[in-house]
Amino acid sequence: MTNQSREELKKEMMAEVDMKNIPAHIGIIMDGNGRWAKKTGQPRIVGHHEGARRVKNIVRFCNDIGVKHLSLYAFSIENWSRPSLEVSALMRLFSTYIIKERDGLNAENVRFEFCGRRETMPPKVMEELDNIVNYLRKNTGLTLTVCINYGGRAEIVDAVKAIIQKGYKPEEITEDLISQHLYCSDILPDVDLMVRTSGEMRTSNFHIWRAAYSELYFTPALWPEFDSVEMLKAILAYQKRERRFGMTSEQVQA
């Protein structure tokens, strides 16, 4: 498909979007960089660089249509098991990419957050990410949360540890209390729409707690191929769903 017909398709799809029902928090499992690299005969790390280049467009598009939170799964706790060269190239990529995009994100009024286990992050990368968080702190548009060294189970374990350290009694433990002790708990709400690229149909430990009632959307597109038309397909699919949260259809429609 040419760029022009892709633009026309985007316009047609935009006309179908219900602007009053935009998911407030979209989480994306950005998968398939390695397969994209293989398909195009390049090393895996080139796939990661190409994947990083897609981020800006998706952030801009989501911000433009009024998404409040976009959280991107960039590196799981389990990803430390990858070859060390790939791991170190990815860590370098995270800070260089976000430093490069800092002013563009600022011009678009985007806020930035880190979500993951801070203690085992490489200190230099953590420091650079914290600097960007501070730099964009005053912005009021979309919050871009990058999940690095993130695992949904690890997040719950860390929340439980913090709760125990504060001396809470068993009868004081509630769902709200656990929510309040998750990473970025003061910022990040539950996930409305969770998207995974590359055809895999699993959540790989992403947002275990916050995604309890997310709508799930899977696409065969590899992350480096994911554009605003693909995002629109996910949003239109989301808008056709009925979110019942345990109720009956009649109750939801009343």
Active site residue 3: no
Q: How far is the CB of 240 from ligand IPE (least distance, A)?
A: 26
End-to-end CA distance of the chain: 43
Q: How far is the CB of 115 from ligand IPE (least distance, A)?
A: 12
Structure tokens at 115: 């979500």
Candidates 29-37, 118-126, 169-177, 229-237; binding stretch for Mg ion (CB under 5 A): 29-37
Radius of gyration of the chain (CA): 19
Of 25, 26, 28, 31, the residue at the interface with Mg ion (CB under 5 A) is 31
Q: How far is the CB of 83 from Mg ion (least distance, A)?
A: 14
Residue 79 interface partner, choices Mg ion, ligand IPE, none, CB cut-off 5-8 Å depending on type: ligand IPE
- CA distance linking residue 205 with residue 190, whole number of Å: 15
SS (H, E, C) 121-187: CCHHHHHHHHHHHHHCCCCCCCEEEEEEEECHHHHHHHHHHHHHHCCCCHHHCCHHHHHHCCCCCCC
Q: Which of 3, 57, 79, 149 is catalytic?
A: 79
Q: Which of 21, 31, 103, 130 is catalytic?
A: 31
Residue 185 interface partner, choices Mg ion, ligand IPE, none, CB cut-off 5-8 Å depending on type: none
Binding site for ligand IPE (CB under 6 A): 29-35, 73-76, 79, 90, 198, 200, 202, 204
Amino acid, single-letter form, for residue 178: I
Residue 239 interface partner, choices ligand IPE, Mg ion, none, CB cut-off 5-8 Å depending on type: none
Closer CB to ligand IPE, 9 or 46, in the complex: 46
Structure tokens at 61: 């598009």
Active site residue 33: no
Residue 96 host element (H or E):
helix 84-107
Four-residue CA torsion sign, 105, 236, 209, 220? negative
The answer to whether residue 51 forms part of the interface with Mg ion (CB under 5 A) is: no
Active site positions, annotated: 31, 79
Give the footprint of Mg ion on this chain (CB under 5 A): 31
